[in-house]
Amino acid sequence: MERLDKLLAATGRWSRKQAKALVKQGRVLVAGQLPQGPEDKVEEGTTVTVDGRPIVTQRYVYLMLHKPAGVISSTQDPREKTVIDLLPRDLRRLDLFPVGRLDKDTEGLLLLTNDGPLAHELLAPGKHVEKVYYARVEGLLNQADQAAFQEGITLADGTACRPAKLEILSPAHQCLVTLGEGKYHQVKRMLASRGKPVTYLKRLSMGPIALDPGLAPGAWRPLRQEELASLGR
């Protein structure tokens, strides 16, 4: 338990005096409720918002980002805009990193955290955490493609992919691909090996976490309690 004004000041964005003023102005909500005053005690992990924007009150931070096309999945880059650049200043200071990578032109679910062990759990090759992608392709998808995915595709350079699932949403160009691994450009290369180059790619889920349909590209939100629980956090 921590005093509300102290907790706000610990973000580095406000002094203790400014934090008290924010609370008195009614700009702060604790778990969606107006607090009684700056001295209210707040439990770790409670969502605290200032002007409707969540601030960080936990040791580890877990965010879901709807990655837009055109930004890279790195923490910093001298030329390119990164996924971290999409966050407000107080969150940029927390050493967050993306759990795995999406290509620059790929959209969709990207988890950002500073919990190294969690990233390891989700990415370790032996763990087979399933990722689901929505893809649009050139060419017509057919049962032979599905069978090849099920069998395990070998890419042009000899890389063997584990069996994967291809679900055809419409033969003319739309499918879902489920992978338990994450090789470089894997979805694009698997579909290209079937003569169906990808024209659009979006990640819909990673393990138990699904992209919130309410998040526009470029938007983010903290993971909810039940989502954290599904990750064992």
Site string for ligand URA, 93-132 (x = CB under 6 A): ---------xx--x--------------------------
With contacts defined by CB under 6 A, name the span among 17-25, 42-50, 179-187, 220-228 that binds ligand URA: 179-187
Note whether 187 binds ligand URA by CB under 6 A.
yes
Looking at the Cβ atoms of 14 and 133, the one nearer to ligand URA is 133
CA-to-CA distance for 163 and 166, rounded, in angstroms? Answer: 10
CA-to-CA distance for 118 and 59, rounded, in angstroms? Answer: 13
Looking at the Cβ atoms of 29 and 168, the one nearer to ligand URA is 168
With contacts defined by CB under 6 A, name the span among 90-98, 160-168, 186-194, 206-214 that binds ligand URA: 186-194
Among 186, 202, 209, 222, binds ligand URA (CB under 6 A): 186
CA-to-CA distance for 126 and 117, rounded, in angstroms? Answer: 15
Least CB distance from residue 89 to ligand URA, whole Å?
Answer: 27
Note whether 162 binds ligand URA by CB under 6 A.
no
Is there a catalytic annotation at residue 5?
A: no
What's the gap between Cα 207 and its chain centre? Answer: 11
CA-to-CA distance for 8 and 24, rounded, in angstroms? Answer: 13
Q: What are the strands, taking DSSP E only, across 82-219?
A: 97-98, 107-113, 131-140, 165-170, 172-179, 198-206, 209-210
With contacts defined by CB under 6 A, name the span among 5-13, 17-25, 151-159, 185-193 that binds ligand URA: 185-193
Tell me the torsion sign for CA atoms 156, 160, 161, 162: positive
Question: CA gyration radius for the chain?
Answer: 21
Binding site for ligand URA (CB under 6 A): 102-103, 106, 185-188, 201
Residues annotated as part of the active site: 103
